[in-house]
Amino acid sequence: SKQAIFDGKKAIRGGIPFVFPQFGQWSFGPQHGFARIIRWNLEKAPERLPSGDVEAIFSIMDSEFTRSMWNYPFRLTYRLILREKELHFNIGVYNPSKELTFSFNLLLHTYFKVPDVRRCQITGLHGCTFIDKSREGAIFQEGRDVVTISEWTDRIYQNTPQEHIITNVVSGRKMRIQKYNFPDTVVWNPWVEKAKEISDFGDDEFPNMVCVESGHVSSPVILLPGTAFEASQILQV
């Protein structure tokens, strides 16, 4: 968004905000958790691999700030690989504790820039149940072969397949999303009225974006002491 705020207090409106350890409202801290507002460590600076790909690795771990909201030790790594027409995201969540189990939500809140969201189609959701947050969390089943957007949309699709294709992204191209260990897909567009309510989002910007988000949010991940959870996403034009 042209109205995005870069003050370090809230997530930047665009790109891929990282939702962890909570999806949605959170009584202990900011909406969608703290991972999208804290500064990550650069574990490995961008480096060209022998294959020609570029790799970078980021991480966060528990601190006084995170423990004030969520009192668990954790370590999270975020590995990005950039290829000519692909972007790979590999995520690891580790529980280093010897006795504490914790549970969490994880979601990549991906914003896609589009010429006109009304012309986009999203595949891979037919037959899936979804929680409709625009209708007080009622649960429905998707009957359409392809999902289109023509109103405020805020849905958590459950047990979705590993691949979605979005048509008519930038330059009229298709975007393929492949995801692993992310059983949910969130589809969001604020439309006219909701866009006006969002201070860091231009009133006229909603036609030029769609969020199609890979996540583990309709049920939490439960991580036992000394274990890890891994998930990944590939975006391909």
88 given a catalytic annotation: no
Interior/surface letters 70-81, b for 16+ CB within 10 angstroms, e for the rest:
bebbbebbbbbb
Catalytic residue among 142, 164, 213, 216: 213
Catalytic residue among 109, 142, 164, 216: 109
213 given a catalytic annotation: yes
**Catalytic residue positions, numbered:** 109, 213
